[in-house]
Structure 1
Amino acid sequence: MSTRRIDSLGEISADYDAVLCDVWGVLHNGMRAWTPAWRSLDALRKEGKAVVLITNAPRPKGPVTEQLTALGVPDIAYDDIVTSGDVTRALIRENARRIFHIGPDRDMSLYDGLDVELCEEREASTVVCTGFCDDDNETPDDYAEMLQRLRARDLPMICANPDIVVERGEELVYCAGALARDFGLLGGRTLIAGKPHRPIYEEALRRVANVLGREPDPARVLAIGDGMLTDVKGAMDNGFPLVFISDGIHAREYGEPGKPDAERLDAYLKEAGAAPVATMLKLR
């Protein structure tokens, strides 16, 4: 049986009270916003539905809000945002004091207000990875020797962004999840709270409840996303109906960007064990 294709979220929105919407790859591509996407979320809010953005960005809500505004996503498009950085801060509080940070300087807001000490690799008791230091040019191979050293010391790694790759314009760039994956393959212990893991969804449901003024029925909370290992797996594992955005990071798996082959897309979803309620080319 083929997966239902829809052209507008309005075709199914009556069945839901709230939306958990992915950000990177759905609302923007790292360089510009997709205007029909945020307008569709604004329309849902005007219907009285709760809209919470759920993102694996490794920074707290404040800096992510600023980034969205700069890219052209206005705050009328959502009621709240929960980030991987938000829920990762709880992991850091519980597990880390002396931290070796792997990632760009722009992610340092992750530690604001936390009782931790950032130190050199040899002095650390925990590793926190928010991404690649130079994600324009580096690949996982550039970190292979470092990961071996960290594994040899049996240091735990807290991963603030479980994404393997994201779109930046027309390119794919590596994220912290690629290093957490490789560290895990070495036998290293990783701690992850972002999508697809439960903590970020529990926090998202709390935000939805705050907006609606009542506890939501998960069956009436629609997840929207384009990432198979994060958005899709997270929705499936945590019991949320899903709309899969096909013109995202996996677009080349079943056609050309903007031109998915329907049979190949169905086969791709089936092979991955994914059962979305519908697919859309782009959110609108």
Structure 2
Amino acid sequence: MTTIIRSLSEISDRYDVLYCDLWGCLHNGYTPFAEAVEALRAFKAKGGYVLLLTNSPRPRASVEKQLEKIGVPRDCWDAIASSGDSARAAMLRGLVGRKVWFIGQPHDQSFFAPMEVVSDAVEITQVPLEEAEGIVCTGPEDPSADPEVMRPKFLYAKQKNLKLLCANPDIVVDRGETREWCAGALAQLYTEMGGESLYFGKPHAPIYELARMRLAQAGVDCPPERILAVGDGLKTDILGAQGEPIDSLFISGGLSREDTGTTDQPDPEKLDQALTAAQVEATWSIGFLR
């Protein structure tokens, strides 16, 4: 059973590293959460290391620019590991072929940029679906549209036995007060239709391998029991932490705020029901990161 806490400082002495989610925890897509920023600053002030672990389909440099634009202070985090980078490395090694059909928005073209760490990269060409050897999905072209609009094209893709590389396993995200569909919703539909979807972000292993590489690059040697995953996604952040296994802090006021009855703090009974329904266990829970 999860333990509800009032602030990160209550448990921070137990941990040396935070794997901190972004959307719903540190910002809402438009503005940073002031209390969350201060909580991360306090964790760093006592010697902790903050790794932003995000299912964003963007390269880490692009994620950093987005954080700067939103106004997230640079002094509240140390490094970034993105689902985008993990998936990009696989794509550049030819996992879904050299000719790919791209599903995403124009600003996600940075996904196709070269990576220094991939020395054996193949040449990737974006082509129409009819010519494709595989699919690369960073998200819907229209995040407000029902994923079902993709069913006819996915039926054709499945008949061609195309693999879909999903750069962001999240199903939805809240941009301010607006809920938007993510790449995970399209990958889920494709899988339900009998297609094969490949995942690289939370809760899947590749992004945690990338996180460990980022820690090693920074000279941070931390045993799993001293790492805490912070996030609002039960099927991404919390399930992923459970699989590592590392401890987790569930932010109930994010995607699950209604299910958990969260205003300032979660309703204990509804919180337990939400965790049980998702078939996950969170070490700790809190309404909002603070």
TM-score range with shorter-chain normalisation?
over 0.9
Residue equivalent to 1:219: 225
Code of the residue aligned with 2:251 in structure 1: it is I
Q: Distance in 2 between matches of 1:43 and 1:90?
A: 34
- Per-residue deviation, 1:273: 2.9
Given that 2:266 and 2:286 are in contact with CA atoms closer than 8 Å, whether structure 1 keeps it comes out as no
Residue equivalent to 1:100: 101
- Per-residue deviation, 1:256: 5.4
Given that 1:51 and 1:208 are in contact with CA atoms closer than 8 Å, whether structure 2 keeps it comes out as no
Q: Distance in 1 between matches of 2:220 and 2:232?
A: 28
- Per-residue deviation, 1:200: 0.5
Residue equivalent to 1:146: 153
Given that 1:209 and 1:216 are in contact with CA atoms closer than 8 Å, whether structure 2 keeps it comes out as no
- Per-residue deviation, 1:260: 3.1
Residue equivalent to 1:194: 201
- Per-residue deviation, 1:271: 3.3
Residue equivalent to 1:44: 43
Q: Distance in 2 between matches of 1:208 and 1:41?
A: 17
Trace 1:33-182 onto structure 2 (pairs within 5 A): 33-94=32-93, 95=95, 96-113=97-114, 115-135=123-143, 137-182=144-189
Given the alignment, which residue of 265, 273, 277 partners 2:279?
Answer: 273
RMSD: 1.4
Q: Percent identity?
A: 40
Given that 1:164 and 1:176 are in contact with CA atoms closer than 8 Å, whether structure 2 keeps it comes out as yes
Code of the residue aligned with 2:238 in structure 1: it is V
In structure 2, list runs of 5 or more residues that go unmatched.
115-120
1:263 equivalent in alignment to 2:266: no
Deviation per residue, 1:202-252 (Å, 9 max, x gap)? 1112222333x3431011100000001110110011101000000011111
In structure 1, list runs of 5 or more residues that go unmatched.
none
- Per-residue deviation, 1:263: 0.8
Partner of 1:229: helix, strand, or coil?
A: helix
- CA gap of 1:65–1:214, structure 2 versus 1, over 3 A, is closer
Given the alignment, which residue of 233, 237, 244 partners 2:250?
Answer: 244
- Per-residue deviation, 1:258: 4.6
Given that 1:60 and 1:110 are in contact with CA atoms closer than 8 Å, whether structure 2 keeps it comes out as yes
- Per-residue deviation, 1:18: 0.5
Q: Distance in 1 between matches of 2:266 and 2:47?
A: 33
Q: Distance in 1 between matches of 2:276 and 2:102?
A: 38
Deviation per residue, 1:2-61 (Å, 9 max, x gap)? x31111101000001110000111011112111111221122112111110000000100
Given that 2:83 and 2:167 are in contact with CA atoms closer than 8 Å, whether structure 1 keeps it comes out as yes
Given that 1:16 and 1:220 are in contact with CA atoms closer than 8 Å, whether structure 2 keeps it comes out as yes
- CA gap of 1:256–1:11, structure 2 versus 1, over 3 A, is closer
Given that 2:187 and 2:197 are in contact with CA atoms closer than 8 Å, whether structure 1 keeps it comes out as yes
- Per-residue deviation, 1:92: 0.1
Number of aligned residue pairs: 281
- Per-residue deviation, 1:259: 5.8
- Per-residue deviation, 1:255: 2.1
Q: Distance in 2 between matches of 1:158 and 1:56?
A: 13
Residue equivalent to 1:30: 29
Q: Distance in 2 between matches of 1:194 and 1:187?
A: 21
Residue equivalent to 2:118: none
Code of the residue aligned with 2:70 in structure 1: it is L
What's the TM-score, normalizing by structure 1?
0.95
